[in-house]
Amino acid sequence: MSRSPEQLKTQILQLTREYSALVHQANQPGSKASAAHCPFIPGQTLVPYAGRVFTEDEVTAAVSSTLDFWLTLGPEGDAFESELGSFLGVKRCVLVNSGSSANLVALSALTSSKLGERQLRPGDEVITVAAGFPTTVAPILQNGCVPVFIDNDPSTLNGRVDQLQSAFLPGKTKAVMMAHTLGNPFDLAATTQFCRRHNLWLIEDNCDALGSRYDGHHTGTFGDLSTQSFYPPHHLTMGEGGAVNVVRDMKLKVLVESFRDWGRDCWCASGKDNTCHKRFGWQLGELPEGYDHKYIYSHLGYNLKPLDPQAAIGRQQLKKLPQFIQARVDNWNSLRTALADLEEFIQFQLPTHAAGWTPNGFTWDDSGHRADCSWFGFMMLVKHNAPFTRREFAQALDAAKIGCRMLFGGNLVRQPAFTTLKRQQPSAFRVIGDLPGADRIMNEALFVGTYPGLTPEMLAYMAETIRTFVLKH
């Protein structure tokens, strides 16, 4: 008996769910993975610092979208952009193929001549932070602008906002671009006030901080633009992928989409024509009047779209995001409580505006502001008086099969790319002070995981291994 395409698809997706439930048990959220009897053998089973966490929902959604074979960004992408925008409370989200591309597109959008006097031009300065991930900074240089590095606070890992004014040059400084490090919001009260006072653009790199809040509002909603990453270690994953969040001003959406989509002037979605109802009625540049608007280019852009099956995965991940965020908070608290007596030799990260930590929670400064972290990782700094080095600490964790990472590129101005750039082009970037905080992070910091795939057994093993290493010294 012949079956209809709908019946075949239903059968394929049911088999896909069964297959995924059997094969991908280890990728379930931590509590479910533990309940599924995925064996954890201390010292033998790898404890990653991060990884993919998913159920059969994501696998089925990816297969369903692939069977439809739209492939390029389409209906699933439209839905995901809308749903992510609603979650954050921003005007619009624009999907791209990575968090690094999101940073590139966001900064590039501000170089558009359509912004008039506020256009970023070659030689304009953008304030950023010394220690972090390189692609927060690279787009500044790639667009011919000058990054100005302020130092990091080793306690929060974020930029020292008390240096913003020192970094400012009237007529030269045009923007601020900083990350919420490891899910810890930077001081948004001071930064937004500074940007308003000097009429500066603000780009929040929110790639490590989806779900974090500052004074009750999601990070990624305070600046003009913000960025997300959906790489597997991040708060939700599409395999590869990212987004630019247009917070308030929808004219920026058109610019973001233009730089993402080859630099074109047309704003039609893929597969659609004549959204403006005057496709053959434009005269721009020195082109003849009536030249096809779909092939008019206002910017020197890129092609940085993800695929629609990726967005289908992201939509299922987004449904799980609240529980993912809570798991990150719970896992961070579990490690912090278990390691509370190691403060003689280990300095632990604090949320911005926190004055300290107690078993009952954080204590706060008198600023009146609060940061609620959707932790990307659990950061530890080896203090100067410790009888062991960060390198020895990292080697011990590695030998115990516990994944750990430095704070990405450390002090970026010490990286080969930047030392070479400084030697060949001394005016390529500026540095405020000697960057002692960024150097300390570079030399002393490492972090372990808080991601939702960690089981209680893994967390207990991590804490026990760290305690044993520290106390034996």
Residue range 386-398, pLDDT digits in tens: 999 999 999 999 9
Of 281, 309, 337, which closes a domain? 309
Q: Which helix (H) or strand (E) is 189 found in, with range? A: helix 188-198
In a domain, 6, yes or no: no
Angle CA(59)–CA(62)–CA(63) in degrees, nearest 5? 85
Q: Is 384 a catalytic residue?
A: no
Same domain assignment for residues 110 and 176 = yes
* Torsion angle (degrees, nearest 10) of CA 161, 244, 133, 46: 120
HSE, CB side, 13 Å, CA atoms: give it for residue 71: 1
Residue 366 has pLDDT above 80, yes or no: yes
132, 252, 347, 382 from 343: Cα distances, Å: 24, 46, 6, 10
Chain position carrying tokens 């490891």: 182
Rg of the chain over Cα atoms, rounded to whole angstroms, equals 24
CATH code, domain carrying 258: 3.40.640.10
Question: Considering Cα of 284, then 287, then 292, then 295, what sign does the dihedral take?
Answer: negative
The reported pLDDT for the residue numbered 268 is 84
CATH code, domain carrying 426: 3.90.1150.10
Of 266, 286, 309, which closes a domain? 309
Residues 6+ apart with CB under 8 A from 78: 269
In a domain, 221, yes or no: yes
Residue 34 has pLDDT above 70, yes or no: no
Are 138 and 360 in contact, with CB atoms under 8 Å apart?
no
In a domain, 56, yes or no: no
The percentage of the chain sitting over the pLDDT mark of 70, rounded to a whole number, equals 98
pTM of the model: 0.96
Of 234, 235, 293, 353, which residue is the catalytic one? Answer: 234
Same domain assignment for residues 121 and 222 = yes
In a domain, 359, yes or no: yes
Residue 33 has pLDDT above 80, yes or no: no
Residue range 174-224, pLDDT digits in tens: 999 999 999 999 999 999 999 999 999 999 999 999 999 999 999 999 999
In a domain, 326, yes or no: yes
User: In terms of residue numbers, what domain contains 106?
Assistant: 75-309
β 371-372/213-214 pair status: antiparallel
Residue range 88-116, pLDDT digits in tens: 999 999 999 999 999 999 999 999 999 99
The Cα–Cα gap between 473 and 138 comes to 40
Same domain assignment for residues 348 and 448 = yes
> Would you mind telling me the total number of residues written for the chain in this entry?
473
Residues 6+ apart with CB under 8 A from 378: 331, 332, 335, 336, 349, 447, 448, 449, 450
> Number of folded domains in the chain?
2
